[in-house]
Each structure stands twice: as structure tokens, then as C-alpha cells.
Structure 1
């Protein structure tokens, strides 16, 4: 007996559990293409890393060369085997830690004297003076080197050659000036301030304890006893006599002394020539061309490199004014 029921149909097959679907198989061509792409990618990465390394080394080398060149800047004179005039600049205050310090000028003087191609040394001065100690060191070194190397030394004055600057100039064989240059000021001073009267008015009491009766000498907040004043004056007079001796030795019979010569006064270049404080009129080019007979001028002046200038500006210069004020309550110059 037939029936329309679905009982006679076979049951559906169950789905397998936990079996992943079978991935389609790649052809050998696809595998080769993928391998080639992967190889190309790796090669590009390696090449990229190499170029990155090369560029880094290049910039590192460039930075190193830049730093080295900045460090050398102004430290070495460009060699010149041709006969030339050696120039050394004396500018600004003559003091320790300045461009016109004895340390800086002595290094330049030694280089210039030792150079066989340097026919003569010219000090171009534009300075109001400064420390007699620094000036004395430079003066003595010029005299010593002249004896060793037998080279002439000339001074060319621009705007000013006064006090300690003239102390140095006295070591030269000849001094050249402009008619309007300022020359002289052969004297010594020690300056400072006294605040005792002001302190009395405002009712401020100075409490200074010392071991040694003269240890507080020249303290601006204490009175200056006659004995200490006389002691300081005697010291200044002695340094003044040293200055006078140097000028007399350097200028010799050319010097036409008057009662005002060593009084601390200063004169223009025309008067200086008349008084024997200077010899002739002339600038650097004139002296190199007409006197030394070597127009080529080589600058031996040592100068701070860029790194040192930055360090001084942003580092060492911080608080320099306060330190200087503490160290130099009564500077001699």
C-alpha cells in the first residue's frame, strides 16, 4: 500500500563539527608571484634602511665638520709663505679675560715673530688702556721677542692709545697716528666710592670685622684713614714711576718732556708727534706699503670662535658684572 508520507526518504547527513573549511589550493604560479613580491618588499626595506643609515652618517659628519670649523675659527692664521706684514689688533680694555688680555696678545706676538715670512709686526691700537699688569706683561714680551728675532715693531693708532695702551706702544720702534687720534694719559688711578656720609644720614651702621688693622682697607662703607690713604697713594706713585721709566726707555731722545708729559693729560695725534710721544702720521696700509715694504697684511690676532662667544654670552657671562664688582672694588689702571 503506497503512501505520500516523507517517512520513506533518507534522513539528511549531519554537518561535521569542529572541522575547518578547506582553503582553496594556490597554484604554483600564484606561489611564485607571492614569493617574488615578498622578496621585492624585503629588498626595498633593506635598501631603505641602508639609505637612512647613509644619510644619518652624512649629516653626522657634516655636523662634526661644522663644529670643528667653528672651533678653529679665528684660532689659526692662514699660512702665507710670501713676505708680509704681521698685524695684531689691540682693541678695547686691556684686562684679563678680554680680547686685549696679555694671554691673547702674547700668543699672537709669538706666532708673528716666529713666522719667517713676517717682515715686521704692526700693533693696531684702539684702546683706552686698562690693567698696568697686563700692559706690563705685553711690553716685556715685545722687548724680549725683538731681541730674539730682530724684527721691527710698529704701532698704528686709530682712535685712541691711552694709559695702558700707550704703555704697550712704548715698546715699538715707531708709533704712527692720525692727526685726530687721542694719545697719552700717562698716569695711574684707583677709583671707588665712599658711602659713609650717606649711611650716617639714613642711620645705617657698618659692621665690619677684620683680623689685621688694614684688612678692610678701601672698603667703600668705612672711612678711609689718613694712614691708609697715604699707603695707597705711595703704591700708585710707584706704579706711575714704572710707567714713566717705560716711556722714557721706549721713546728715548725723541721724547720732549714737559711738566705735563706724565701728568695724566692726553693729546691729539698732531700734538703727540710734536711732543715726541708719536713719530709720524700714517695708517696700517701706509706702514705696510711704505715702511715695511710688504703690502700683504696677515692678521695674527687670536679671536674667540663662535662656540666660545656663545658660551661667554649665555654661560660664563651670567653674573659676570656682579663677580667683577666684588673682585674689583678699587681697580688700578
Structure 2
């Protein structure tokens, strides 16, 4: 008997609910995983943004399961970990199974989130995996030279000025970054091994950052089955009412005011938001989406 079967067996039987339908609560984790919000972005995921949706989902009356709808190219490692840990905390308190459903993409941090579930499903054409760490930047030292701009930076501490995009790249800075990436990658791998256990195939490509279709990911043990949220829930919980737990929106957002908008917005803030949106667009584009 797997974890989900054990949890389901402890739930009241449908016939004992006095005619009230059991509930499967859905939480949407769609977008780039980032600690910052952007009014121009396709959608972002972070703990602050999804906390109210998660607590609402697990607080439902007659709850028999929570479903995570995941569509994400990944992003910030720490935000991924904090959201996953919060899901496990809430699941432990409520003692209900958590099922993850990968839609177009559950890559990198998106797959990290999926591993917070007791079972993971995807469509056979979904893209799943990318268990690795990536950093990207721009080298602008030649540009400021052509523009005649002089870069001035003053620090206390010899390592406060690493990887400045306006200065030539230094080998020691790259080595430092690669060391940090290796440590974060190790955390990621440990999490996947902890959550997937003996289901993982012995494949040397598993933790190289490669991405697979849902069909191949199932063979590798990254999934428990193929199917959509609608299909699996209808089979597993045929009497259940499926409800979506929505995050609470700030009052200004409800009134139609986007973050960073308004008369007092500086051009630099809008430029920063535009750059963030482009970076997030590039993250999706790496997977052809």
C-alpha cells in the first residue's frame, strides 16, 4: 500500500458524509518561480503569492485530496524549496493525499514542486525534469567602453563585487558561481531521491538537467502515471466536487491597479519590470513555449 492509499483509507467513506460531496481542492502553480512580482510577466510563483491558496485548499471541509496543477519552467531554488516544504507541512496536518499534475511543463523548480506531492502525473507529451541549476547574465563591458562610460564601484570586502556584468569576467568568480550551483544541485538531487525513492531508474542522465516527455519520465520513475487532473480525479474520486483554491488578491489589484503602476512610477522601475519579463519569457522559450 503506497502513501496515497494509506491516507485515503483513513478518510471517512463517501456514504458516511450525510449526502455532502467530498472535495478535491486544486492549487494552480503556474509561472516562473521568483521572489519578485512583475506587472508585465506571464505569471509568477512564490510562497507569498501562493500561501493563501495553499492554506485555503487544505482548510476545505470534506477534503479528500489536494491537487497541484503545475505549469512552470522553474526559477528560484529557495522559493521552490519553501513552497514544497509548506505543502508537506499542510499535508501532514490534514492527513490527505497530495497529487501533482504536470501540464505543458514541470521543469527544474517546477519539478521540485511536483515532488512535494505523494503522486505525480503528466500528459505523455508534457515536458518533465531538468533536474539541474542554471544562472545567466550579460557581459556589457564592451558596450560601456564604446559609450565612453566609466564604471565606478566602491566596496569594503574583497568579494563584494563578483560577476559585475559591466566588467570583464574573472575566472575566480566563475569558479565561485559553479561551486554554489553544485551545492544547490545537490540539495535538488537529495530532494528528488527523498521523495521518489526506489521508483527512480538507475540512469546516469537523470540528474544532468535533461528534460523528457511525460512518457519517458514515467519510465525513469519521475512520474507515477500518465493522465490529466480531470481524468485521474474522476477515476480516483468519482463523487468528489473539484474546487480551485484561489489566492487572495491585494485590494489595489482587485481595483485594477497593477504593481509598479500609477502616476509616481519611475521610468527605471518600468524598465526593470520589462527586463524581468524578458528574462521570464526566455525561461519559457528554452522549452519551446
TM-score (norm 1): 0.68
1:278 Cα deviation from its structure 2 partner = 1.0
Matched, 1:161 2:106: yes
1:106 Cα deviation from its structure 2 partner = 2.4
Whether the aligned pair in 1 keeps the contact of 2:24 and 2:65 (CA below 8 Å) is yes
Residue 243 of structure 2 aligns with which residue?
Answer: 298
Taking the aligned partners of 2:211 and 2:45, their CA distance within structure 1 comes to 21
Whether the aligned pair in 2 keeps the contact of 1:184 and 1:267 (CA below 8 Å) is yes
Whether the aligned pair in 1 keeps the contact of 2:23 and 2:61 (CA below 8 Å) is no
Taking the aligned partners of 1:266 and 1:326, their CA distance within structure 2 comes to 26
Q: SS where residue 311 of structure 1 aligns?
A: coil
- In structure 2, do the counterparts of structure 1 residues 265 and 324 end up closer, same or farther at CA, with 3 Å as the change threshold? same
Query: Structure 2 matches for 1:243-282, cutoff 5 A?
Result: 243-282=188-227
1:124 Cα deviation from its structure 2 partner = 0.7
Matched, 1:228 2:173: yes
Moved more, 242-251 or 312-321: 312-321
Query: Structure 2 matches for 1:33-72, cutoff 5 A?
Result: none
1:307 Cα deviation from its structure 2 partner = 4.6
1:129 Cα deviation from its structure 2 partner = 1.2
Matched, 1:102 2:47: yes
- The counterpart of 2:75, out of the listed 130, 152, 158, is 130
1:201 Cα deviation from its structure 2 partner = 6.1
Q: SS where residue 272 of structure 1 aligns?
A: helix
Matched, 1:89 2:28: yes
- In structure 2, do the counterparts of structure 1 residues 324 and 190 end up closer, same or farther at CA, with 3 Å as the change threshold? farther
Taking the aligned partners of 2:104 and 2:59, their CA distance within structure 1 comes to 29
Q: Which runs of 5+ in 1 are unaligned?
A: 1-80
Superposed CA deviations along residues 256-293 of structure 1, whole A, max 9, x for unmatched, are 14221111111111111111111111112112211234
Superposed CA deviations along residues 68-116 of structure 1, whole A, max 9, x for unmatched, are xxxxxxxxxxxxx631110111111122336522123222222222223
Matched, 1:112 2:57: yes
Q: SS where residue 159 of structure 1 aligns?
A: strand
Matched, 1:237 2:182: yes
1:219 Cα deviation from its structure 2 partner = 0.8
1:294 Cα deviation from its structure 2 partner = 4.0
Whether the aligned pair in 1 keeps the contact of 2:52 and 2:248 (CA below 8 Å) is no
Whether the aligned pair in 2 keeps the contact of 1:85 and 1:294 (CA below 8 Å) is no
Superposed CA deviations along residues 201-220 of structure 1, whole A, max 9, x for unmatched, are 66654333322222221110
Whether the aligned pair in 1 keeps the contact of 2:25 and 2:243 (CA below 8 Å) is yes
Matched, 1:212 2:151: no
Taking the aligned partners of 1:167 and 1:186, their CA distance within structure 2 comes to 8
Relative to its length, the structure with more helix (as a share) is 1
Q: How many pairs does the alignment contain?
A: 252
The alignment yields a C-alpha RMSD, in angstroms, of 2.9
Taking the aligned partners of 2:49 and 2:171, their CA distance within structure 1 comes to 40
Say which one has the larger Rg.
Answer: 1
Taking the aligned partners of 1:316 and 1:235, their CA distance within structure 2 comes to 41
TM-score (norm 2): 0.77
Q: SS where residue 102 of structure 2 aligns?
A: strand
Residue 5 of structure 1 aligns with which residue?
Answer: none
Residue 258 of structure 2 aligns with which residue?
Answer: 312
Q: SS where residue 312 of structure 1 aligns?
A: coil
1:164 Cα deviation from its structure 2 partner = 0.7
Whether the aligned pair in 1 keeps the contact of 2:72 and 2:105 (CA below 8 Å) is yes
